[in-house]
Amino acid sequence: AMKVAGVKPRDLDMIIVATSTPDYLLPPVSSQIQDMLGAKCGAFTVVAGCTGWLYALAVGQQFIETGAYDTIVVIGAEEVSHAIDWTDRTTCVLFGDGAGAVVLQASETPTGILAFELGSDGSGYKHLIVPGGGAIKPMSHEVIDNRENYIRMNGREIFKFAARVLGRSLRRVLTEAGMSAEDIDLFIPHQANHRITEAAARLMHVPEDRFYMNIQRYGNTSAASIPIALCEAIEEGRCKPGDTLAFVAFGAGLTWGAAVVHLGGPNQDVAVSLADELFILARAKYLARRTVGVVQGMATDALLAVSERFKL
């Protein structure tokens, strides 16, 4: 993102990271990223479930609008795979790992967020939760034995919640921006469930093909899903600088958010360097090794279960 924007680490005024799966409880992963980039600016982490990146984007926009900062990188990054119970088929097939980022910069042209809404309904917090490992139920043998260190989700309630809030939230931000659905060049929803997106499209009276989807490739990457989808939509020519986009998301909390955004950025293509290609290749090899390890672990667990059952 910084390369495309022509931004160097020294140019950054703030780094905002949205994640629910940091490397450590302490320090915040935002500080690690700041160090890895070689930046000298402030950095902090936002936790709002799958809606986290929209929260972070709105916060970054406010910093720029007040004149406090000029250049901010907003990151959504998740490694959900370590929080998945591979014996729970209601969740393990849904999620994926990923990261995406955008650069926000002060500009005299009208770009960025035109209108946004952030919401929360804490009464539904238990519908999407990792019960163990926190202050209420610290990590212990009991937590691990009960598999409470993994994601638990009430899919029916999450679906009802999302179907209820997404269309309404989109309509409210469009009204605030003084626009209609016809003014939006592309809708980019959180990539959680295709049926939820279909329901939102029907409610908005918008053809489904105007909602960008890549869930079939990556699954639900939580706070990373919208920036990843945005990047791919640009690469595929589905949107370009000057277009008006609508983002919408929901997630653990329960949280939701929507935003109407006027897309800025350079018009020229940015070539991928040899270093970039080598990094991509190395990352692919790492993910392949990790996948093999996960599959081998699942096979071992299955064999142990069979052995225990038949006393082999």
| pLDDT tens profile 127-146 | 998 999 888 899 999 999 99
Higher pLDDT, 268 or 62: 62
List 149, 190, 193, 239, catalytic entry? 190
Which pLDDT score is estimated for 266? 63
Which pLDDT score is estimated for 290? 60
Mean pLDDT of the chain: 88
Lowest mean pLDDT among 58-72, 208-222, 244-258, 265-279: 265-279
In CATH, what number does 2-123+153-262 get? 3.40.47.10
DSSP class of residue 67 equals: T
Asked whether the predicted pLDDT for residue 89 surpasses 90, the reply is no
Beta carbons within 10 angstroms of residue 88's beta carbon: 14
The yes-or-no answer on residue 190 being catalytic is yes
Cα(203)–Cα(289) distance, rounded to whole angstroms?
43
Higher pLDDT, 41 or 269: 41
Cα(270)–Cα(19) distance, rounded to whole angstroms?
27
| pLDDT tens profile 183-236 | 999 999 999 988 888 888 888 899 999 999 999 999 999 999 999 999 999 999
Confidence of residue 163 (pLDDT cuts 50, 70, 90): confident
Per-residue pLDDT averaged across 92-118, rounded?
91
Per-residue pLDDT averaged across 152-161, rounded?
92
List the structure tokens of 198.
Answer: 């279909």
Helix, strand, coil percentages in the chain from 3-state DSSP, rounded to 5: 45, 20, 35
pLDDT above 70 covers what percent of the chain? 85
Mark 256-295 as b/e (b = at least 16 C-beta within 10 Å). Answer: bbbbbbbbbbeeeeeeeeeeeeeeeeeeeeeeeeeeeeee
Asked whether the predicted pLDDT for residue 273 surpasses 90, the reply is no
Cα(231)–Cα(186) distance, rounded to whole angstroms?
13
Q: Which sequence spans correspond to the domains of the chain?
A: 2-123+153-262, 273-312
Which pLDDT score is estimated for 153? 92
pLDDT above 90 covers what percent of the chain? 65
The yes-or-no answer on residue 50 being catalytic is yes
Which pLDDT score is estimated for 204? 87
To which H or E segment does residue 172 belong? Answer: helix 155-176
CA 27 to chain centre: 21
| pLDDT tens profile 13-65 | 999 999 999 999 889 999 999 999 999 999 999 999 999 999 999 999 999 99
CA 258 to chain centre: 13
List the structure tokens of 15.
Answer: 């780094």
Confidence of residue 253 (pLDDT cuts 50, 70, 90): confident
Cα(48)–Cα(224) distance, rounded to whole angstroms?
12
Confidence of residue 270 (pLDDT cuts 50, 70, 90): very low
Confidence of residue 269 (pLDDT cuts 50, 70, 90): very low
List 127, 149, 193, 220, catalytic entry? 220
Contact 53, 224 (CB under 8 A): yes
**Closest among 110, 109, 48 to 74, alpha carbons compared:** 48
Which pLDDT score is estimated for 271? 44
Confidence of residue 310 (pLDDT cuts 50, 70, 90): low
Per-residue pLDDT averaged across 154-162, rounded?
92
Cα(282)–Cα(40) distance, rounded to whole angstroms?
28
| pTM of the entire predicted model | 0.83
Contact 55, 46 (CB under 8 A): yes
